[in-house]
Amino acid sequence: MDQPAEYAILDHLREGCQVIGFDRRYRYVNAAAARHGRSTPIELIGQKMTDLYPGVEATTLYTLLERCLDQRLPAEFENEFTYPNGARAWFTIKMDPIPEGAFILSIDITDRKRAEDSLQEHVTRLEALRAIDLAIVATGDLTSTLEGVLERVVTSLHVDAADLLLYRPERGTLEYVAGCGFRQAEAGQTVVPFGQGLAGRTAFDRRAVIIEDLARHPEPPERGAWFADEGFVFYAAIPLVTKGNPIGLFEVFHRTALTPSPDWIEFLHALGAQASIAIDHGRLYRDLQRVNLDLTLAYERTIEGWSYALDLRDRETKGHTLRVTALTVRLARLLGTAEDEITHIRRGALLHDIGKMGIPDTILLKPGPLTDDEWKVMRMHPTYARDLLYPIEYLRPCLPIPYAHHEKWDGSGYPLGLKDEQIPLAARLFAVVDVWDALSSNRPYRPAWTQTEVFDHIQGQAGIHFDPQIVEVFLRERRARSA
């Protein structure tokens, strides 16, 4: 059928132009509009849209066309169009009532729409990579951080599920640490042998695998039953590697077949690389914490070992060190000492007589009073303690007790003859406790004193040997205990 001549001017426009009559038949279609419909003007003229495109009645386009024809209302909108062969296209459509019916102007904006979508896609992907970056910096629980990251990964890759398996060299396995999108909790129990089967070989060979449709894959996956239960059809796995060593596997699952674009695959690899860094960083941080903890524990054990050895040597003082340490810490807390400082005080108390390691048995274990020369040697023990502990940096803050516990409030003590508040508080505190416990115990050079004698002695030495304020707090605490 011929095209009406009055529209000839529109024939070669780039925009699609068509005129639909009140009878819903095509009256005019230019070449561009026919192309948009994958057709030719000749085939269309005189035909009804509803005959050519079954189902078109249900579309917004058709509804608006009817409204334009019947109610003489214009319309303008963006429309996604699906061709009979499944291809999709986007158009800007403008409809105007004209005397013959309706005039439709259509502009193909598919390229612009694709560009927008791909921009959005890039933004989503960048956000996912950024989430991993943040996870790298985060120092919290790595597993929960990874779960959050995987949720973004699933969104940005448009897949149903994803997980991370970590390599356990000691067990020769890859084990689940984080995942999302699974229907069954079983995913959390995933353990696959490293180097065997699809997943295991992917990690071992460090070569990614992408299976678009598991049903067509020659090798059934070793987790076949689980894949079937979950309904997975598509599978991809990216090996995780740091510094050339395998550390695990990043798996992606989908419940319909997928043919990923080169872009998508590249992004999957980027995610794998980023996840490797995140895991490596998390491990470094955790190992560092563990080494610190191990070292701290090792230090404490060492100190306790030394002080125990001292008590053993100074036979009669059995349990003295632990008792004075507990009592000194309790007193320090009563006086409102900060916990950091308490640590140093505890170490100082445990090591207070470490300098006696330098005192010969003949003097230390002498059953009677010391001679002047022997006293000179004995009085060296705080100085020996300082010489021994000062080079050990982490023990330096505990030195006030081993070095100054024999100073006296009136300035008559040793090794320096410090007075009142020149004496470090920890040492003033400790001195009261040490003498209390020494007098309450048997010594090689004398038997234990009675409680009353000890109380009277401490009270009597307030302002002479001891800080009077500390004596007050100490005796109040002792009386509360014994009451």
Kindly tell me which of 166 and 332 has the beta carbon lying closer to ligand SIN: 166
Quickly list DSSP for 256-309.
S-----HHHHHHHHHHHHHHHHHHHHHHHHHHHHHHHHHHHHHHHHHHHHHHHH
Using rule CB under 5 A, residue 407 touches Fe ion: no
Residues 253-312 that bind Fe ion (CB under 5 A): none
Residues 345-404 that bind Fe ion (CB under 5 A): 353
The least distance separating Fe ion from the CB of residue 314, rounded to whole angstroms, comes to 8
Q: CB burial class (10 A; 0-12, 13-18, 19+) of residue 481? A: exposed
Task: Report DSSP state, residue 387.
Answer: H
Using rule CB under 6 A, residue 434 touches ligand C2E: yes
Using rule CB under 6 A, residue 142 touches ligand SIN: yes
Using rule CB under 5 A, residue 314 touches Fe ion: no
Q: Where are the beta strands (DSSP E) in 83-233?
A: 88-98, 101-108, 161-168, 173-180, 191-193, 209-211
When binding is defined by CB under 6 A, the residue of 286, 318, 376, 396 that contacts ligand SIN is 286
How many angstroms separate the CA atoms of 237 and 203, rounded? Answer: 8
The least distance separating Fe ion from the CB of residue 170, rounded to whole angstroms, comes to 47
Residues 308-367 that bind ligand C2E (CB under 6 A): 366
Q: 385 vs 275, 363, 381, 395, 421, CA distance in Å?
A: 51, 17, 6, 11, 22
How many angstroms separate the CA atoms of 207 and 361, rounded? Answer: 70
When binding is defined by CB under 6 A, the residue of 54, 86, 262, 369 that contacts ligand C2E is 369
Using rule CB under 6 A, residue 370 touches ligand C2E: yes
Helix (H) or strand (E) holding 62: helix 60-71
Closest to 365 measured CA to CA, from 442, 439, 303? 442
Kindly tell me which of 419 and 443 has the beta carbon lying closer to ligand C2E: 443
When binding is defined by CB under 5 A, the residue of 160, 163, 407, 434 that contacts Fe ion is 434
Kindly tell me which of 184 and 450 has the beta carbon lying closer to ligand C2E: 450
Using rule CB under 6 A, residue 416 touches ligand C2E: no
Residues 377-396 that bind ligand C2E (CB under 6 A): 378
Kindly tell me which of 94 and 281 has the beta carbon lying closer to ligand SIN: 281
How many angstroms separate the CA atoms of 389 and 401, rounded? Answer: 11
Using rule CB under 6 A, residue 279 touches ligand SIN: yes
Interface with ligand C2E (CB under 6 A), residue total: 13
Using rule CB under 6 A, residue 132 touches ligand C2E: no
Residues that bind ligand SIN (CB under 6 A): 142, 166, 177, 279, 282-283, 286, 294-295, 298
